[in-house]
Structure formats: C-alpha cells, structure tokens
A = this chain, B = another copy of it.
Amino acid sequence: MARNKGEESKKKIFQAAAELFAHKGFHATKISDIVAKAGLTQAAFYLYFNSKEEIFEQMLEDFEKQLIHFSDAGKKVADIQPEHVKDHVRETIADILKFLGKNPHLTKVALRENKDDRLRSIIVEKIAANMSNNQRLGIVKTEIDTQFAGEAFLSVIEHIIERYVMTGEKTENELADQVSLLFLEGILNKN
C-alpha cells in the first residue's frame, strides 16, 4: 500500500527538475515549473530539497555516483585479437552511449550545466587514458593527441545523446556504428 509516498514525490520532483534543467537550463527553470510537472505545489518542493541549488547539486552527485559505478563495471579487456579491435571498440562506444542515454537529461545537466567541468574532465580522462593505452599497443596512431581526441569524442557523444537519443530518432546501437565508423577510420575513402 505504498507507504513511501514521500520518497515517490521526491523522485517525481527530481525527475521533473532533471528534464527541465536539461531543456531550459538551470536559471530558466522555475520551481513552479518543476512542481507543476511533478503535480505538486511549490511548498512540497521544500519538503524534499532545501533550495533550487541543492537539487541541482544532488543531480550532479547522482550522476557522478552512477558514473563511478559504470567505470568500475567496465569490462576487463584481456587480450583482444587484432582482428576484433573494431568490434570491441564499437561495443565499448555502445556501452557508453547506453549508459549516458539511460538518463539523457541527467547527462545533459551534468555535462552542460555546471560551473567547472569536473564531471566532463573525469570522463575525458578515462577515454584519453584508454586511447593512450591503445597507442602503446600499436592499435591507435601515435600522432593522435589523446586528450584532444577524448574531448572531441565526448562532445560528439554528448551531442548525439541530446540530438538522437533524447528524441528517440536513433538507437544507441545505430549511433555506436556511426560513431565508431567516424572515429576509427575517418571519412576518407582509402585507396
């Protein structure tokens, strides 16, 4: 008989806020927007959060927690046969997309709507480290500036989450195909 009505209301507010922050940005989102979307009154907001600032912070923390968890769960890549490198990368990209796409609003808020770029940096570092490792293994070109490539990659991921995942226009797998095609081999025809 659902004795956790409060917890549910809190979640509703949280979700509503995430969507609105993602769509209109933190400043343009009013508490009244949030609670309207959650089907409650403004006072109810303050039952669960102390301020607009606070719900925002919780959002970032939430994202970071999930991010850490996702990283830790990263498949341990033992030895990949050279001929499977591409497939493996594509899969990794799909995983990232699926993770970030699972909560696209939160993702957008975390990557766009914060002062410093701490969360963004964390992700970029991970990607860059991975790429560097693959340089040492001879898989990735040594001319590539992995930091730079990591940032470029994240920008693209971020954009397509918003542009294709949030709109439902393409699936994560389709997107992973395109992204890996692009990043792994570039657009030029070889000949």
- A interface, CB within 8 angstroms of B: 25-28, 85-86, 131, 138-141, 143-145, 148-149, 151-152, 155-156, 158-160, 163, 178-179, 181-190
Contacts and interface: CB of A to CB of B under 8 A. Distances in A.
Main SS class of interface, A: helix
Given A139-B189, A151-B159, A158-B155, A144 B181 contact: yes
Contacts of A143: 181
Nearest to A137: B189
* Copies of this polypeptide in the complex: 4
A40 B129 CA distance: 48
Q: Which 7 A-B residue pairings sit nearest by Cβ, starting from the closest?
A: A27-B27, A186-B186, A155-B159, A185-B186, A27-B28, A152-B156, A155-B155
B178 A145 contact: yes
A160 B141 CA distance: 21
